[in-house]
Structures are given as structure tokens and as C-alpha cells.
């Protein structure tokens, strides 16, 4: 059997997945073939290379939050979040209603039309009698 045929079995041999009889034959070949031994070592090193790269991957700090938001917070956590999630629209609704009530109150309480003129004090035809003042003598119009 040539090295090429043994090479095809190296991967399964590495994982202990080769049937016993084939594994024994490959064992014997590896003792005499430095090329296949080097290939086996190289294949065995792939896992380490992949894990070296994957160990550098940094998952974003907000990943969980994004997943939970996509799933729906209520389903995941129970009743805590919905109370808070309903709070905001309720506050907005309350503020809107207050604003509407303010507008209605302002509309119905403001005077209609242009402002009325200030009322003037009535002019008295008879001069007020001041106590102590000398009263002029009455004139008889027929005395002339």
C-alpha cells in the first residue's frame, strides 16, 4: 500500500475512528514512514490552530440584550419587563390627556369676542353736599 492510500486514513486514525485491523496496519506503516508521521502531526495541529483563532473572538457586550429583544422580553423573563414597557406609553398618554384637558379648559374659559370697554363712572347732575359748606341763597325767579 502506498503512502497516498495511508494518508486517506490518517484523519480517521487521528480520531480513533479507524477499524482495529486498518489501524494496526497504519501503525506499522507509521513506524517506518517519516512522511506519514509528519502528515499525522500536521493534521493533529489543525485543532490547535483553529482554537487559537477562536479564542481571540470577542462577543459584543450587548449580544444577549439584542437576542432577548428579538425574542421578546416578556416571554423570556416573565412579568418584570412588561410592567416597565407599559409604563412609558402610559406616562405619554397621561401627559397627552393633561395637555388636552388644559386646552379644553383654556378654550371654554376665555372671553368671546373683543374685550369690552371699561365701565365709566356715572356723572352726577346734583353737586354733592359737603357738610359745613355755605349753601348759596336760593333766588326767587319771580323777584325780578
Smallest gap from residue 72 Cβ to other proteins (A): 9
**Region from 6-14, 86-94, 101-109, 120-128 binding other proteins, contact rule CB under 8 A:** 6-14
Give the alpha-carbon dihedral of 66, 68, 72, 74, to 10 degrees.
-140
User: Taking CB under 8 A as the rule, does residue 53 contact other proteins?
Assistant: yes
User: Taking CB under 8 A as the rule, does residue 11 contact other proteins?
Assistant: yes
Single residue of 3, 5, 67, 97 touching other proteins by CB under 8 A: 67
Determine contact, residues 18/9, Cβ cutoff 8 Å: yes
Which DSSP string corresponds to 118-129? Answer: PPPPPPPSSPPP
Single residue of 12, 23, 25, 37 touching other proteins by CB under 8 A: 12
Smallest gap from residue 28 Cβ to other proteins (A): 20
User: Taking CB under 8 A as the rule, does residue 49 contact other proteins?
Assistant: yes
User: Taking CB under 8 A as the rule, does residue 39 contact other proteins?
Assistant: yes
Which DSSP string corresponds to 30-56? Answer: HHH-HHHHHHHHHHHHHHHHHHHHHTT
Neighbouring CB atoms inside 10 A of 133's CB total 9
Smallest gap from residue 10 Cβ to other proteins (A): 8
Amino acid at each position: 500500500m502506498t503512502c497516498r492510500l495511508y494518508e486517506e486514513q490518517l484523519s480517521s486514525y487521528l480520531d480513533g475512528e479507524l477499524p482495529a485491523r486498518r489501524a494496526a496496519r497504519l501503525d506499522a506503516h507509521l513506524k517506518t514512514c517519516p512522511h506519514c508521521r509528519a502528515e499525522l502531526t500536521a493534521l493533529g495541529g489543525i485543532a490547535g490552530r483553529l482554537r487559537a483563532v477562536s479564542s481571540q473572538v470577542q462577543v459584543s457586550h450587548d449580544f444577549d440584550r439584542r437576542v432577548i429583544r428579538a425574542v421578546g422580553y416578556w416571554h423570556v423573563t416573565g412579568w418584570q419587563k412588561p410592567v416597565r414597557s407599559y409604563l412609558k406609553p402610559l406616562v405619554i398618554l397621561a401627559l397627552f390627556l393633561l395637555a388636552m384637558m388644559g386646552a379644553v379648559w383654556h378654550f371654554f374659559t376665555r372671553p368671546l369676542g373683543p374685550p369690552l370697554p371699561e365701565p365709566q363712572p356715572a356723572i352726577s347732575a346734583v353737586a354733592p353736599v359737603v357738610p359745613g359748606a355755605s349753601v348759596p341763597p336760593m333766588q326767587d325767579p319771580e323777584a325780578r
